[in-house]
Amino acid sequence: MPWNNDRAQDFARAQRAAAHFVSHPQLRRAFEAIEDDNAELERARRNPKAYLQGRGVDLPDEATVDLESGSCCYRICFWGFCFTACTTWWNC
């Protein structure tokens, strides 16, 4: 069944937000920080959204962010859609 216009607009908005998130230069720096420093990783695990925002990553107010347990993946959700950004260079 095709989505109604509101759902289609939410998906388009979520895609734009996800593209902005994964291409944000500060996201790379956040990955570098948690790779290099276990204390940074623990700070990121406690409150991933606040951690990323504190490192300068722009996120919509509606976004929820998880640093997935046992992995190096940020899962970000907005407007009913979720996207995952991972790195496989180190073992979290």
pLDDT for the residue 6: 92
Cα torsion angle, 13, 18, 23, 25, sign: positive
Give the mean model confidence (pLDDT) for residues 76-80.
86
Arithmetic mean of pLDDT over the chain: 84
Q: What pLDDT sits at residue 41?
A: 85
Place of tokens 């300068």: 56
Dihedrals phi, psi of 42, to nearest 5 degrees: -65, -40
14-41 residues labelled b (16+ CB within 10 A) or e (exposed): beebbeebeebeebeebbebbbeeeebb
pLDDT of 51 > 70? The answer is: yes
pLDDT higher than threshold 80 for residue 87: no
Q: State the DSSP H helix or E strand holding residue 7, giving kind and residue range, or none if neither.
A: helix 5-23
Give yes or no for a contact between 26 and 56, defined as CB atoms under 8 angstroms apart.
yes
Is pLDDT above 70 for 67?
A: yes
Q: Is the pLDDT of residue 86 over 80?
A: no
